[in-house]
Each structure stands twice: as C-alpha cells, then as structure tokens.
Amino acid sequence: MSDFTHLDENQQPQMVDVAEKPVTRRTARAEATVNLTPEVMKRFERGDIQSKKGPVFHTAIIAGIQAAKKTSDLIPLCHPLPIAKCSTTVEPIDDSRVIVRTEVVTDAKTGVEMEALSAASVAALTLYDMCKAITKGIVIENIRLVEKTGGKSDFQTNTR
C-alpha cells in the first residue's frame, strides 16, 4: 500500500475518490516572495506602474485569480472545484521585494490548497513577465502553503 493518495494498488496514477466524503467549507492561503530588485521597485514608488502590458500589480492579481479557477486544467489529478472566493494581493516587503498572498474558499469534498498555490505561483510569474524588460534578475522564491482549514485536518505554517 502506498502513502501517496494519487496512486492505486498497482502504483498507477489515479484521481482520488472523494465520492463518499462530506461537503465542507475548505479554505487555503498561500504566498510567494518575488525579488523584483531595487531597480524595478523604484518604479512602484507611487503605487502600481503602467507597462506596455498594463498595470503590473493589477494584472498579477487577475492572473492569480484566473490560475485558481483553472488549477484542474493545469495539475492533472486535481478535481475541478467550485471556487466561492479567491483573493490575491501584492504588497511591497522592502526596497526590492513584494509578497503575493492568496486565499481560496470552496464548499466541496476536497481542499483548495493547489488552487491557492497555483494563484500565488501564476501571480508571481506574471510579475516576472511584466517586469523582465527592466531586468532578468527577478527571483521568485518561497512559494508555500500558509494555512488550510476544512476536511480531515487543518494546517498552519510557522510564520516568519
């Protein structure tokens, strides 16, 4: 017997059977840190900046929300879920970094951790895409689940 829920008795990939699980409120929060560099951050001194592709932070926020909604299209064994709430924020940490924070909520038989992580990842990648013309030295790091509630167990990471 495997400890991996996405493998069957023959060690073949499978979507987890959630048919008998109850519908409960499920929440997940995730984050990613993006080192945009001081050169890029100087351009955000008065809030969001306009690039040829649009407002940078707002575009990243929308991309994060879209990623949460499309997670089951991206991650092969994820169940499609009815997203009740999805929020993404982008906030400066210091003179070179921002933090992307996401929260996803559903009433379903399985959790939304992957949706929250997808939202944080794609929002961070969108920041990279929109700022790469200024520098390619942007670093995305510490993509992680911060908290999940609902289902069999809750989880909360140690805060920094």
What pTM was computed for the model? 0.89
- How far is Cα of residue 64 from the mean position of the Cα atoms in its chain? 7
How many structural domains are present in the chain?
1
Main-chain dihedrals φ then ψ at residue 95, nearest 5 degrees:
-80, 0
Write the CATH number for 54.
3.30.70.640
pLDDT, one tens digit per residue, over 74-120 is 999 999 999 999 999 999 999 999 999 999 999 999 999 999 999 99
Domain assignment of residue 14, yes or no = no
Domain that includes residue 93, residue range: 46-149
Residues with a catalytic annotation lie at 129
3-state secondary structure of 153: coil
Angle CA 59–62–64, to nearest 5? 110
Domain assignment of residue 112, yes or no = yes
Compute the average pLDDT of residues 125-129: 96
Domain assignment of residue 133, yes or no = yes
Which helix (H) or strand (E) segment holds residue 127: the answer is helix 113-131
> Tokens representing 100?
């992307």
3-state secondary structure of 93: coil
